Amino acid sequence: MEIRLARDLQQDSIVDGEGLRTVIWTQGCCHNCKGCHNPNTHDFNGGYSVSVEEIEEKLLYIDEQDGITLSGGDPFFQAEACADIANFAKMCGLNVWCYTGFTFEKLLFMSKNDNNIKHLLEAIDVLVDGKFILEKKSFDLSYRGSSNQRVIDVKESLKNEKVILFKGYNEIKTSRNLYEKKSYVYA
């Protein structure tokens, strides 16, 4: 099976989910979010094709990574290939985060008629859902670009049949909280 990628795998990302991550940048997206930081991934004919097996082979040799992140583009436009990769990553002991412009509710609806979407959802640990909305952009948000997007615990959400936010996620990290003013006494 083939998958269309926008670029090579990116290791050691710290902004695409918790911990050190290897990002798989899928090619193809029709959401066309104004202000998207990856507009080069929208063209479904862009990027290049590679076999899923080649991606899996690379995952066998990554070191010191906590997980993989499926991003793009939108991975749900290549759900079958992404589900295979996600399941392989889980077998390697890696967790799986995924970014999508679809909402979790829309994906559940779509999964009723598309088993590939269902299988991809079942293989994901954390989903960042929703279109990027430029007017709701904030640099104070962790792992998401706009405040409408949610960081979802997929396993718990599927089990409870409603959105459950990821508990390990720190909702907002403001630059004001990163540094404390300290008084220094010099001798």
93-119 pLDDT, tens per residue?
A: 999 999 999 999 999 999 999 999 999
Q: Which of 6-15, 32-41, 67-76, 133-142 has the lowest mean pLDDT?
A: 32-41
Q: Whole-angstrom Cα distance, residue 144 to residue 147?
A: 8
What's this model's pTM, rounded to 2 decimal places?
A: 0.88
Look-up: residue for tokens 């926008």?
A: 6
Picking from 105, 141, 137, 142, the residue whose alpha carbon sits closest to that of residue 121 is 105
Contact 130, 110 (CB under 8 A): no
Contact 36, 133 (CB under 8 A): no
pLDDT at 184 > cutoff 90: no
Please list the residues that pair with 126 across neighbouring strands: 97, 153
Burial (CB count <10 Å: 0-12, 13-18, 19+), residue 40: middle
Contact 153, 167 (CB under 8 A): yes
Tokens of 76: 């749900």
26-71 pLDDT, tens per residue?
A: 999 999 889 888 888 899 999 999 999 999 999 999 989 999 999 9
DSSP state of 39: G
Strands 150-153 and 126-129: antiparallel
